[in-house]
Amino acid sequence: MVDYSKIRRNVVGIEHDRVTNVSSTDFPGYYPGEDHSWNLDKFKENFRSHISYLTDLSCSFDLIGVDSSIANAFRRIMIAEVPTLAVEYVYIENNTSIIQDEVLAHRLGLIPLKANPDYLRWFKKDDPDFEPTDYDTVVLHLSAKCTTNSNAPPGSTDPKVLYNGANVYASVIQFEPQGRQSEWFPDGIAPANPDVLIAKLRPGQEIDLTMHCILGIGQDHAKFSPVATASYRLLPTIEIIGPPLTGELAQKFKSCFPKGVVGINSKGEAYVKDARKDTVSREVLRHPEFEGRVKLGRLRDHFIFNVESTGAMTPDEIFIKSVQLLKKKCQILRKFDLRT
Amino acid sequence: MPSAANENEAAGSSDVPQAKEEVVDEEMAGGEFEFDGEIDPNKIQILPGASEDGTAASFRILKEDHTMGNALRYMIMKNPDVEFCGYSIPHPSEAAVNLRIQTYGDITAIQALEKGLDDLMDLCDHIESEFRKEVEAGDYSTVEP
């Protein structure tokens, strides 16, 4: 049982038609006699992080004891400022497919590539004299051709049976290492997902093109964003007020929440089993019998992050990079001497 | 960055980890829109109209947005010597943040800004190390529920 009375000021109240106690108040001078000045040791004491699950492509973790301005900075950086590699220049040697060159180039740009961006440098797009080198440009090649399958059984209508190479998938893309790139990328550079459909061909059509991939950030173009989603929510709180809810009332109370949020103990009393699973639908607030019997809220300093990677990096790497980037931004500003 | 390339060749080493380290130090960690660590000399300026004793000033930070603006505002407001701190993005099509700092008079606005930046860096260091510990501990599920 969580005692909410002690952390009330950290609970954002949720009522049927409004939210209350929304802003952070942990600033010096807000509460008389309390010290809320920045204290690293105190922060270290309060801060906790916990990972719920972590796979190659998705991750959920908690950051507890940080302000929303900090958590939001990490979220924003993950989406818009963590650099990744993507196709930027497409040199089309031949394209007789029905997909126009510019549409094809756009589709190629959006394919997530699995490559460690740490090994690459920025391609200086705004410098007209800049020459691409193995340090900043990755060359990929795509060539696909469709032919008739002479062995197709008569009467078949499936293009996959009738033709060879009717569908062009991302797995066809070939990495062409330049300079020392074969040392830096011993596993090569390939699309994170080999099954991305790039184009469909018919016999006689072919695509032959070279792609130059460069580093970029999501702010410039979404294709450079390493995440499919990066979001957070605040941990929900549910507080039952007054005498225990029992019998039919308890059953009804339970049914107001998603499965697993409210349980009923051996005495038939409803209790909050796992508030984390709550979607905060506020269904319970619609019923007059629960008026004044329940308080919904969210913990202001408990962030549940959900990060889904596009495949370029693992989600934990993306988060760590976002933290490093925020620090780097500070370092850059710190270098300036404003006192003159 | 030819200089880095030369360094690496001078060291007579061509193994991958070293190439990685060199790049990480110099730019990846950058992730900044400034390329190759070439930082705009006007990245941060003091706007005209600062008080004479320097206890109140506005800053203009180029190529930053709510990410830095709000995080920095929070850290600066945590300083008990600061009376007011706020930020705004004056125009949506100008990539710049204006940051206003007023202190009670014991420190200058510049000192408050510097402390805010230092504190924010400390915070990042701690969050990074805690998160890394958590990843290494492996106390989590490796399948999506």
Annotated domain spans of chain A? 4-80+229-241+292-306, 84-224
Q: Which two tokens stand for residue A331?
A: 């370092």
**What DSSP element (H or E) covers A249?**
helix A247-255
- Provide the ipTM: 0.93
* Segments making up each domain of chain B, as ranges: 44-133
Share of chain B above pLDDT 70, in %: 74
Q: Which two tokens stand for residue B110?
A: 């510049």
pLDDT of B37 reads 59
State the Cα–Cα distance between residues A95 and A107, nearest whole angstrom: 14
Q: Which residues of A160-181 are buried (b: 16+ CB within 10 A; e: fewer)?
A: eeebbbbbbbbebbebebeebb
Residue B15 binned pLDDT confidence (cut-offs 50, 70, 90): very low
- Architecture of the A4-80+229-241+292-306 domain: 2-Layer Sandwich (3.30)
State the Cα–Cα distance between residues A293 and A290, nearest whole angstrom: 5
- Residue B40, min C-alpha distance to chain A (Å): 10
- Architecture of the B44-133 domain: 2-Layer Sandwich (3.30)
State the Cα–Cα distance between residues A113 and A189, nearest whole angstrom: 7
Instruction: Give the residue from B72, B25, B70, B9 showing the smallest Cα distance to A330.
Output: B72
Q: What is the mean pLDDT of chain A?
A: 95
Q: Given an 8 Å threshold on Cβ–Cβ distance, is A37 in contact with B80?
A: yes
User: Model pTM?
Assistant: 0.90
Of B65, B67, B143, the CB nearest to A55: B143
Mean pLDDT of the region A314-327: 97
- List the alpha helices (DSSP H) in A13-164: 40-46, 68-80, 101-109, 159-162
Mean pLDDT of the region B92-99: 97
Which residues of A are less than 8 Å from B34 in CB distance?
A: 332
Please give the DSSP secondary-structure letter assigned to residue A89.
Answer: E
Hey, which residues 25-64 in chain A have their CB within 8 Å of chain B? 26-29, 35-38, 40, 43-44, 47-55, 58, 61, 63
Q: Given an 8 Å threshold on Cβ–Cβ distance, is B35 in contact with A28?
A: no
A23 vs B: CB within 8 A: no
pLDDT of A1 reads 60
- Residue A88 burial (C-beta neighbours within 10 Å; 0-12, 13-18, 19+): buried
pLDDT tens digits for range A63-114: 999 999 999 999 999 999 999 999 999 999 999 999 999 999 999 999 999 9
pLDDT of A49 reads 97
Please state which of the four CATH numbers 2.170.120.12, 3.40.50.1980, 1.25.40.10, 3.30.470.20 is assigned to the domain occupying A84-224: 2.170.120.12
Mean pLDDT of the region B10-36: 41
**What DSSP element (H or E) covers A205?**
none
Mean pLDDT of the region A140-156: 95
Does the pLDDT at position A340 exceed 50? yes
